[in-house]
Amino acid sequence: MASREVTPEEIAMIEELVKKAHAAQKILETYDQARIDRLCQAVAAAVCDMKVWAKLSDEAVDETALGDKVTKRNKRNKIKLILRDCLRQKSVGIIEELPEKGIVKYAKPAGVIASLVPTTNPCLTPAGQVVYAIKARDAIVCSPHPRAKNVTNKCINIIRETLKREGAPEDIIQGIPLPSIAASIELMKRCDLTIATGGRPMVKSAYSTGVPAYGSGAGNATVIIDDTCDTPERQHEAAENTRISKCSDFGSGCSCDGNLVIHESIYENIVKELVKEGAYLANAEEAEKIKKVMWDENGHRLPNTVAVSPQKLALTAGFEIPADRKFIAVTGGGINDIGKTHFFSSEKLTTLLALFKYEGEFENALDMMRKIFEVGGKGHSCGLYSFSDDHINRLGMAAPVSRIMIRQPNNRGNSGSAWNGMPPTSSMGCGTWGGNIVSENITLKHYMNTTWVARPMKKDMPSNEELFGDFNKPDMDEE
């Protein structure tokens, strides 16, 4: 992550922000569980009010030129889910007891968190993270993306005003007013923990500062639709799930469907259902034009077509599509059309979907899935529309990803939903596959330190015969 040298003025600014954050955190640390929970509710309510959130959504799109004002409004539901989970958990004093092991666990704050805020979620990320931070009794300093600094800081200021009204230190959350890469690196060096939500260079930079960090990985969300999707009702639902996932915020999220791997027996029916859901089927000539405006000759993603409407994507490529179309679909081909040189099998981050066809047994779909993740997105997520427990289990065993959604929209489900048990978040760890330390959603437990207190218990040590089995020797304990 290349950067200029940090200026003395930036260092002084960062030092002041962190100093204020530490002071605020020390006060927050004295609050009991009831007051902490009330603060979480107050902050979440302030930004979840649709009259507030709608304006922030519009301003985010206006400032960044990324995403969709209509579907960006739906992202407020993530804050409600985060609040739901926070209110159901303890974070002050004893949080868990295991009498059979003599273990009692106590929660402690992580301290001051540096949050690197992505341009695609300039308000959701700080709003969701501050609820977790308050619950854990942390303070948080946000480094907005330079392209979204105004709307991110506006969101932060709404939260600060709410904290002040509640008699809590407003410096529990702060934002860098004029962010830069250099300032972000300086911030990360001075905080106790970094949560980096964004691209691989940003995450690598966070890991290189010498401070503990949680990062997220790149996506290339791929959904297999198998031959159990064999009725009109199921085919409609599968296509509807894809439309919901593909179109959210103009496909800006890492979890938005990028590739469908469809069984040959239902391929044509699925395509028809996708058209009903708003797909525009690009022909070979149009697909080639799209490819040229999305990637350079080396396969690097070009920025001007990220998170744009399908109409704008088509116009940029040099053709027009009807105003009612919600996304563009291209024929990806078969297993021989997947790889680093086949750009449609890589991450899209816009309103484009690639359709791949697999033949015969389910193992062929798994082979295509593996090959797609060798192109990119390993560690992030995939999905499956299937009613076969065998197929679900086999994908679970085979997929090099941290999360798999079954018969539900990836974008809605990966980061937590009212319809599944995934922990709600806006930051998703992708394990060692994606260059991250955890392969789970970054949630409350990651914002806390935990002290384990162990009382003595009855001795628990099996005999050598039980431990070593066939490898036991009668004289193993003798020199």
Task: Convert the pLDDT of each residue in 261-296 to its tens digit.
Answer: 999 999 999 999 999 999 999 999 999 999 999 999
Question: Considering the chain, what is the average pLDDT of its residues?
Answer: 96
Average pLDDT over residues 45-70: 97
Confidence of residue 334 (pLDDT cuts 50, 70, 90): very high
d(CA 356, CA 338) in angstroms, rounded, equals 9
What Rg value do the Cα atoms of the chain yield, rounded?
24
Classify each residue of 260-286 as buried b or exposed e, where b means 16 or more C-beta atoms within 10 Å of its C-beta: bbbbeebbebbbebbeebbbbbbeeeb
Q: Which amino acid is at 295?
A: W
Per-residue pLDDT of 430-452, as tens digits, reads 999 999 999 999 999 999 999 99
In this structure, are strands 448-454 and 103-109 parallel, antiparallel, or unpaired? Answer: antiparallel
| Nearest alpha-carbon partner for 224 in 248, 257, 251 | 257
Q: Which amino acid is at 198?
A: G
Per-residue pLDDT of 209-243, as tens digits, reads 899 999 988 999 999 999 999 999 999 999 999 99
d(CA 314, CA 297) in angstroms, rounded, equals 19
pLDDT of residue 2: 54
Per-residue pLDDT of 97-150, as tens digits, reads 999 999 999 999 999 999 999 999 999 999 999 999 999 999 999 999 999 999
Per-residue pLDDT of 143-186, as tens digits, reads 999 999 999 999 999 999 999 999 999 999 999 999 999 999 99
Tell me if residue 254 is catalytic.
Answer: yes
Phi, psi of 50 (to 5 degrees): -60, -30
Q: What share of the chain is helix, strand, coil (3-state, %, to 5)?
A: 50, 20, 35
d(CA 284, CA 295) in angstroms, rounded, equals 16
pLDDT of residue 65: 95
Phi, psi of 30 (to 5 degrees): -85, -10
Contact yes or no for 119/202 (Cβ under 8 A): no
Average pLDDT over residues 247-265: 96
Angle at 362 between CA 356 and CA 365, to 5 degrees: 30
Contact yes or no for 400/373 (Cβ under 8 A): yes
* Neighbouring residues of 469: CB distance < 8 A, sequence distance ≥ 6: none
**Residue 97, CB-side half-sphere exposure with 13 Å CA sphere:** 4
Phi, psi of 256 (to 5 degrees): -65, 135
Which of the residues 40, 247, 254, 382 is marked catalytic? 254
Q: Write out the H or E segment, with its range, that includes residue 160.
A: helix 149-165
Confidence of residue 201 (pLDDT cuts 50, 70, 90): confident
pLDDT at 1 over 60: no
